[in-house]
Structure 1
Amino acid sequence: MTQALSRTGVRQPTLKHTVPMKVIALGDSLIYGFGDPEGGGWVDRLRRQWMQSEGPILYNLGVRGDTVRHISQRLENEFRHRGELRHQVPDQIILSVGVNDSARLGRPDGRNMTPFPEFQTRMADLLDRASQLCPVTFVGMVPVDGTKMPFLDAFFFNNEDQHLYNEATRLACQERQIPFLDLFDAWRQRGEAWCQSQMSKDGLHPNSQGYQMLLADILDWQALQILG
C-alpha cells in the first residue's frame, strides 16, 4: 500500500494494483482439450473456474500431436510472450506431454515415434530448461484404449509403451523435485471398464466426462491447489 496527497494536504492510503498470477499450460491434445465439445478440456474448464474466482490467468498452449521435441522447441518463445506487461513473464508452467512420443508407427510392433533413449534425453533437457524459467508442475498422460487402434490409420498406442514413457517422466520429475501427477496409474487402478467409459470413440482422447474427471483429479492435487 502507498500514500497519496489529498486536496487538504493530508496523505491518504491508496491501494496498490495486484497483478494476478499467470500460468501457462504447455503440451499436446490433453492440454488442448480435444474430445470435449462440452467444456473444451480440463485446462479450459479450470481457466473458467479461476476467472470466476479471480484466480490466476491461465493460458492454454496445447497443440495436437506435439511430442517432447515440439514442446522443447517452443518452450522459451511461449514463455516469453505470455507476460502481458513489459518485463513480466509467467509465474508457473504446467507441462503435459509424452503420449505421442510412445506411439508405434505403421503397425503394432513398429518403431516408436520417439525412440525411448531419445525420449529420456529430450525429457530431461525439457525439464531442466523449464525449471530455469519458473516453477514447473507436470500432468501425466491417461491410459488409452488399445482396442480402438490404429489412430488415424497410422498410429498404434498401447498401455505397455505408455507405462514405460510415463514412468521415465515420473522419475525425471522426481529427480528434479518437480511435482508429477500420475494419472496413468490412478486411472488404471479404477479398472479397464471405467477407463474405457471415460474415453472418446478414438480410444486416445478423453470424452467430456473423462475431462471432467481429469479436472477433479487435478483440483485434488496439492501442487495445483496452492495456485488457485
Structure 2
Amino acid sequence: MKKIVGILFIVLVICLVAYVFQAVGEKNDQRVMAFGDSLTYGKGDQEGEGYIDDLKQKTNDSDSDKKVQFWNYGIKGQETDGVINQLEDTEINTKLDKADTFIVYIGINDLINSNGGNLKKIHDQKINDGKKEYVEHIDTILSLLLEKNTKADILVIGLYNPNKEDMKLENHINNYNSALQERVDKDNRLKYIPTNDLFQNKDKEEYFSDEIHPNEKGYQLITNRILDKYNFK
C-alpha cells in the first residue's frame, strides 16, 4: 500500500512540475490578436489559414523557448462595423489587455459594399461617401485597442488592389491607404504595413484564388511583408 502511495505521490509531483513549466511558458509567450475579414480568416488558401497560419509557423519555427500564440478573429465578409462589435463583445473585450500585439486588416468589404456590392463598375462618389464612414470606424477600432491595452503594438495592414489594370479602383485603394497611414501616424504604437505594391506586375492566376482573395502563394507575400516590417519576439 505504501509503495502505491509513493508512486502516486511521485506522479503527482511530476504532473505539478509539468503544469508549472507549462504555465511559465505560456506566460512568456507572445500573444497576437488578429481582427479582420476573409483575408485574415484565410479564405482562398487551400493548404492552411492564410497569412495568420503562415505567421504562426514562421515565428515558431526556431529553437527559441519564447513562442508566439495567434488568436484569429477574422470573419468572412466582415466590415469595420463588425470589428467594432467584436471589440465590444464581453468575451473578446475582457481579453484585449492580454495581447502583446494586435493585427488589424480590414476595409476591402467596406469599399466593395459602398460601391454596390461588387467591383465591376467603379462609382467614385459612392466609394468616396463610404470612405468617410470607414475612416470613422477605423478611428474607433484603433482608439478602443489603445484604450483597452496600454502596451501592445498595433499593426495596421494596408489594402491592395486585386484588379491592377483598373486605375480608378487603384486611386480609391490609395486613398483608403492614405487615410490609414494618416491615422497610424498619430500614435507611436501603431505601425502601418503596406501590401498594395506586393501584387504589382504579378500574374493574377498565379497569386489569387478568385477575384479578391490570394491563394497560398499570395498569402505568403503578405506574411513575408509583415515579418519584414515587424519582429514579434
TM-score normalised by the chain length of structure 2: 0.73
1:145 equivalenced with 2:163 (yes/no) = yes
Q: Alpha-carbon deviations, 1:78-136, whole Å to 9, x = none? A: 643657xxxx7222211111111111115624434971211122211211111112222
Instruction: Give the alignment of 1:1-228 within 5 angstroms.
Output: 17-18=24-25, 19=27, 20-53=29-62, 54-77=66-89, 79-80=92-93, 82=95, 89-103=98-112, 104-105=115-116, 108-110=121-123, 111-112=126-127, 115-134=130-149, 135=152, 136-145=154-163, 158-177=169-188, 178-184=190-196, 186-187=197-198, 191=200, 193-194=201-202, 196=204, 199-221=207-229, 224-225=230-231, 227-228=232-233
- Relative contact order higher in (CA < 8 Å, ≥ 6 apart): 2
Alpha-carbon distance in structure 2 between the residues aligned to 1:213 and 1:176? 27
- Corresponding letter in the other structure for 2:144: R
Identity fraction in percent = 22
Instruction: Work out the number of aligned pairs and report it.
Output: 196
Q: Is the 8 A contact 1:200 1:206 kept in 2?
A: yes
String of CA shifts for 1:148-197, please: whole Å, max 9, x gaps: 9xxxxxxxx9322211111111111112231110112x326xx3x31635
Deviations 1:11-67 (A, max 9, x none): xxx988241221111111111111111232010111233444452111111111111
Tell me: CA distance 1:46–1:161, structure 2 relative to 1, closer, same or farther (3 Å): same
The structure carrying a bigger strand percent of its residues is: 1
CA-based RMSD: 2.8
Consecutive unaligned residues of structure 1, counting only runs of 5 or more, are 1-13, 149-156
Structure 2: which 5+ residue stretches go unaligned?
A: 1-19
Q: Whose radius of gyration is greater, 1 or 2?
A: 2
What amino acid sits opposite 1:209 in the alignment? K
Any idea what SS the aligned residue of 1:194 has?
coil
Between Structure 1 and Structure 2, the one with more helix by share is 2
TM-aligned CA deviation for residue 219 of structure 1:
1.2
